[in-house]
């Protein structure tokens, strides 16, 4: 990956902002001015955070294309048909990365041109604190060097893996949408702590760090989550009593159904 790599975002929503901040903090780019973003004038408020970070901002996608080596398509899926014709003639030498849920490579390739170098990638918002997880698949024109650029770029903001495109929708259901599930669990755990008399700030801290620690235990020990769970459960103890309640409440099934619902939604876009 070039030390002078310039990254442009077409679209300046929360995911674009999170990635931009992560790239700057992770030194994936030489300086903040090597990151740029564009959006319509009607949405100019979305560019304020980009400006505050020191990024370049535009209201013209063609201007952004001119100063970018890697262009990240960060617009909503329903906006993509409006954006692609506008940049179709400019993509030949660019590495295009789409983070739009449910938009397949074949559709992107057809709306741009057969020679376009297109990567479909699904990140998540913890990229902002460089604890994200991203997966990607590449179109036929993408070179090994392009793949290396994607891995190095998104590797600065968390973990990244290459997968078959058939897996991307399920990935969206697990890790793309997953942070929201985790926030809901953290909030519920903290509410439970407050109900039992803990100060709100302490309850949030305990719940959030417990989730961080549990996740790292799985990743670092390579131990099955069920084994780690069993190690916390003493016979007749507090943890097994709590797990019994969670199982009766259908937590496991609810989360599996949430992942399924998010995955199916990708196919409807």
Question: Would you say 13 is a known binding-site residue?
Answer: yes
Gap between the Cα atoms of 42 and 200, Å rounded: 39
Dihedral Cα 215, 217, 223, 225, nearest 10 deg: -40
- The 70-73 sheet, strands edge to edge: 56-58, 35-38, 7-10, 70-73, 95-98, 117-122, 132-138, 158-162
**Residue 41 φ/ψ, nearest 5 degrees:** -55, -35
Question: Would you say 77 is a known binding-site residue?
Answer: yes
Question: Would you say 15 is a known binding-site residue?
Answer: yes
Gap between the Cα atoms of 44 and 12, Å rounded: 9
Gap between the Cα atoms of 252 and 245, Å rounded: 11
Question: Would you say 114 is a known binding-site residue?
Answer: no
Question: Would you say 26 is a known binding-site residue?
Answer: no
Tell me if 47 sits within 8 A of 65, measured CB to CB. Answer: no
DSSP SS3 for 72: strand
DSSP SS3 for 158: strand
Q: At what angle do helices 225-232 and 200-221 cross, to 10 degrees?
A: 130
Question: Would you say 75 is a known binding-site residue?
Answer: yes
Gap between the Cα atoms of 135 and 125, Å rounded: 13
Question: Would you say 12 is a known binding-site residue?
Answer: yes
- Residue 28 is given by DSSP the state S
Rg over CA atoms, the chain: 21
Question: Would you say 4 is a known binding-site residue?
Answer: no
- Binding residue numbers: 10-15, 61, 74-77
- Binding residue numbers for NADPH: 61
- Binding residue numbers for NADP(+): 10-15, 74-77
């Amino acid at each position: 990956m070039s030390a002078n790599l310039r990254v442009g975002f077409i679209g300046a929503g929360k995911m674009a902002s999170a990635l931009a901040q992560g790239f700057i903090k992770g030194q994936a780019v030489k300086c903040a001015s090597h990151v740029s973003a564009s959006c319509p004038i009607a949405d100019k408020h979305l560019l304020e955070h980009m400006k505050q970070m020191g990024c370049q901002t535009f209201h013209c996608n063609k201007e952004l294309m001119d100063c970018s080596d890697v262009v990240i398509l960060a617009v909503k899926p329903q906006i993509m048909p409006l954006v692609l014709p506008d940049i179709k003639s400019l993509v030949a030498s660019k590495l295009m990365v789409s983070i739009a849920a449910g938009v397949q490579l074949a559709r992107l390739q057809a709306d741009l041109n057969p020679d376009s170098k297109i990567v479909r990638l699904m990140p998540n918002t913890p990229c902002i604190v460089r604890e994200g997880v991203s997966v990607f698949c590449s179109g036929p024109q993408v070179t090994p060097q392009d793949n290396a650029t994607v891995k190095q770029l998104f590797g600065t903001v968390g973990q990244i893996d290459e997968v078959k495109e058939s897996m991307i929708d399920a990935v969206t259901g697990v890790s793309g949408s997953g942070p929201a599930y985790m926030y809901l669990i953290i909030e519920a755990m903290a509410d439970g702590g407050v109900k039992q008399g803990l100060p709100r700030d302490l309850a949030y801290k305990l719940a959030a760090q417990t989730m961080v620690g549990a996740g790292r235990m799985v990743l670092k020990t390579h131990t099955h989550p069920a084994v780690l769970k069993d190690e916390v459960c003493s016979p007749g103890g507090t943890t097994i009593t709590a797990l019994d309640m969670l199982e009766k409440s259908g937590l496991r099934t609810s989360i599996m159904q949430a992942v399924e619902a998010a995955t199916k939604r990708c196919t409807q876009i």
